[in-house]
A and B are shown apart, each in its own frame.
Chain A
């Protein structure tokens, strides 16, 4: 048993400050345990969103020592003994109170993405090699840490122009689905703002599910956008063969 100091943001959209709390800690504790102990013994009104405490619900996202993390997956013994641990709400979204932020913008973005739409001629027999890529994306727990750390949203506040890495993953899961019949590349290029991503891979670094967001979702989608809009050889080929030229039904055309 030892004592650690936690510096936790207390406040709301009107303002706030860091407040120090000393907590008796035991081996194996995570940051969320410490926050719960503070709620129980020192600050019953400390607001914190959490649910499963098993890194599967994506609720307890916060910035621990300045890095976006799940509080339930951040062990105290990851930090040097004696170091004060700071806990702040995620920065990219408006604060409601203390450690709780309003992430509803993400749900609005989600509504803009056309859902899974099977091909007319879909053969509903699927093989594992077709599903491996998509299954990786299905691991997403919507903690929005990738959205928080993405500098396009966090530093440049381009929420009106860029969907963010979480929704690049969602679009990838649909675009790479063997039975899906829609083409969302035009949507990605325009409303989705995929060109704003400059591949700095911070989203991949913070993902608690170890989804290779940049390499397996964003870059392959960027390459599909290149196929459609920037590669002159492919554009000529499509024109000659009567293939999809990307302008037939903006963003929502049936795949060949």
Chain B
């Protein structure tokens, strides 16, 4: 056999022998995450149209401006927005997604990568910082509690005549509720939480405490099985919730009262 066996060891970006559309998934991920990144950055910089009636955009929660009456020289969305951003940025699912779609490391399974890069994985800066994921989970849980508060508040409208708070259901109330449910599904299926509540134990049956943690671990594992789906659904709902509140506030959309 005189021919080179370089056909077995092709190298270089995108080199592969797959016959399927392997590029579609990273392309959609690139567009989805990139589009969300651009929109959320734009929305956070606005500092306006983040509330309408009882609705508050999740990008601006908690509304510290209203809570404390402080004024900021910049959009106060940035005071807390780094928390969910950090939580998603260090999430094990999103790591897979953006390592493939943005860093092409690799762009797909059994697909070539850009040549000449020194690979260190998550052993060196900056990716070694992925190990702080559990701390972002702790902080994101606090933000999530505020989002639940906002979602509940979204059902209590101020009567313009009497000034009383009244329970009603608007489309926006449901948008905020669905959003916070999706965010909870994403947060409580977190791999770090799965480890902390019980995954770190070697023996689930040894003590009463371990048996309780086994049940918690099982519950988190159920959510974790669909962590990718929760990640995408919650990314969409959080973006849409901001769009909904923004367009209502701008008078472009009119919130429909269901009840």
Contact = CB atoms under 8 A, between A and B. Distances in A.
A220 B4 contact: no
A95 B8 CA distance: 9
A200 B5 contact: no
Given A88-B17, A158-B119, A202 B106 contact: yes
Interface in A164-191: 175-178, 180
B232 to A, nearest CB: 15
B3 A11 contact: yes
Contacts of A155: 11, 106, 112-113, 119
Contact of A17 (B7, B11, B127, B206): B7
A86 B194 CA distance: 41
Interface in A47-80: 63, 65-68, 79
Interface residues of A, number: 62
Interface in A189-242: 193, 195-202, 205-206, 214-215, 219-220, 222-224, 226-227, 230-231
B18 A66 contact: yes
B153 to A, nearest CB: 33
Contact of A15 (B3, B95, B214): B3
Interface of A is mostly: mixed
A154 interface: yes
B18 A200 contact: no
A168 to B, nearest CB: 13
Given A14-B1, A88-B17, A66 B110 contact: yes
B16 A66 contact: yes
Interface in B63-119: 92, 95-96, 99-100, 105-106, 109-110, 112-113, 119
Contact of A202 (B109, B131, B133): B109
Interface string B175-215: 00000000000000001101110011011111000000010
Given A86-B17, A199-B92, A200-B99, A13 B5 contact: yes
A158 B196 CA distance: 31
Interface of B is mostly: loop
Interface in A9-23: 9-18
A89 B109 CA distance: 16
A154 B106 CA distance: 10
Nearest to A230: B131
Interface string B1-23: 11111011101000011111000
Nearest to A157: B119
A198 B127 contact: yes
Contacts of A9: 5, 7-8
Contacts of A17: 1, 3, 7
A11 B7 CA distance: 11
Contacts of B203: 130, 178
Nearest to B194: A220
A201 B100 CA distance: 10
B110 A16 contact: no
B8 A196 contact: no
Contacts of A127: 204-205
A91 interface: yes
B195 A220 contact: yes
A211 to B, nearest CB: 14
B8 A88 contact: yes
Interface in B112-135: 112-113, 119-123, 127-128, 131-134
Contact of B110 (A18, A67, A176, A222): A67
Contacts of A158: 119
A164 to B, nearest CB: 13
Question: Which 7 pairs, one residue from A and one from B, show the smallest C-beta to C-beta distance?
Answer: A66-B17, A66-B18, A196-B121, A202-B109, A223-B195, A195-B123, A178-B203
Interface of B: 1-5, 7-9, 11, 16-20, 92, 95-96, 99-100, 105-106, 109-110, 112-113, 119-123, 127-128, 131-134, 191-192, 194-196, 199-200, 202-206, 214, 224, 227
14 contacts: A66-B19, A67-B18, A83-B19, A130-B203, A196-B121, A198-B99, A199-B99, A202-B109, A215-B227, A220-B191, A220-B194, A220-B200, A230-B132, A231-B131
Given A12-B5, A199-B96, 8 more contacts: A14-B5, A65-B17, A154-B110, A178-B203, A195-B121, A201-B96, A215-B191, A230-B132
Interface of A: 9-18, 63, 65-68, 79, 83, 86, 88-89, 91, 95, 126-127, 129-130, 148-149, 151-152, 154-156, 158, 175-178, 180, 193, 195-202, 205-206, 214-215, 219-220, 222-224, 226-227, 230-231, 255
